[in-house]
Amino acid sequence: MIFSPILKLGYLKQYLKQPFVLTCTKICPPISTTKPVCPGSSGKPPSSTPSLGLKRAVKPGKVRMGFIPDEWFLFFYSKTGVTGPYVFGLVLTNYLFSKEIYVMEHEYYVGLSIFTMLYYASTRLGPGLGRSLDKSIDEHVETLEKARRDEACVYENAIKDAKDAQWRAEGQKLLMDAKKENIAMQLEAIYRERFMQVFHAVKGRLDYQVKLQRSMNRIHQKWMINWILQNVKKSITPDFEKAVLNKAIQDIAAISSKT
């Protein structure tokens, strides 16, 4: 076939191991996104889950001009530089057309028109279609992931409740402390009541003595005053009374004559 010279070259055969499709979705680019990766590659033991090997590629292999794999250009690069493959392509197509190895018959012209239409369709409508398809796929994946997340959530809740139960069980220590504190409170209350009792007893007795003393004094004073007044009243004789009254009249006359 036309590409047998490339095949015969031998090296870089690895790139052509895949089935030969023009839209190269399966050829790994040199810097590969499809490295074999262990599931949960951050060091978790892979014993329980089967090893995945390749991860799904995010983008198809790199191509130039829509269908020619990039590796073919790189294959040429070392010998002929950047323009090599393009020149080779031009020369090849020129050879094919001029020697009528590739005959330009009716199908060719139909193909040209179809190619134009396909080109415009894919560049204009392609991205939109891609986005909507991606969206529907994302929804589907989201439902699957949600189911998995819910399962994980169940376990997380179980763990949380279990930890909660542990914490509460340990809270019983506080209960013991509270009981001891209650006992201490009762003892303290009784102690305070006791010394207040003593205090009130002593103070009561002293106060009683004070009050007793005071009331005795009051009674003595009252009787003394009464006795004094009685004696004074007795000692007022009629002469004395007349003399005092005259003196008083004189004093009043003196004062009234002054004013």
Residues near another protein (CB under 8 A) = 39-40, 44, 46, 48-50, 52-56, 141, 144-145, 148, 151-152, 155-156, 158-159, 162-163, 165-196, 198-199, 202-203, 205-206, 209-210, 213
Q: Which is nearer to another protein, 107 or 177 (CB)?
A: 177
Q: Find out whether 105 and 111 touch, Cβ atoms under 8 Å.
A: no
- Distance of closest approach, residue 45 Cβ to another protein, in angstroms: 8
Q: Which is nearer to another protein, 133 or 248 (CB)?
A: 133
Q: At what angle do helices 84-98 and 70-80 cross, to 10 degrees?
A: 100
Q: Which is nearer to another protein, 13 or 214 (CB)?
A: 214
Q: What is the dihedral of CA 212, 216, 219, 221, to 10 degrees?
A: -130
Q: Which is nearer to another protein, 192 or 242 (CB)?
A: 192
Radius of gyration of the CA atoms of the chain, in A: 61
- Distance of closest approach, residue 217 Cβ to another protein, in angstroms: 10
Token pair belonging to 216: 């005795």
- Name the residue type at position 206: L
- Distance of closest approach, residue 224 Cβ to another protein, in angstroms: 18
- Name the residue type at position 250: Q
Helix (H, G, I), strand (E, B) or coil at 172: helix
- Name the residue type at position 170: E
CA 34 to chain centre: 35
- Distance of closest approach, residue 31 Cβ to another protein, in angstroms: 19
Q: Which is nearer to another protein, 118 or 187 (CB)?
A: 187
- Distance of closest approach, residue 246 Cβ to another protein, in angstroms: 49
CA 27 to chain centre: 44
- Distance of closest approach, residue 56 Cβ to another protein, in angstroms: 5
Q: Which is nearer to another protein, 54 or 129 (CB)?
A: 54
CA–CA separation, 80 and 103 (whole Å): 29
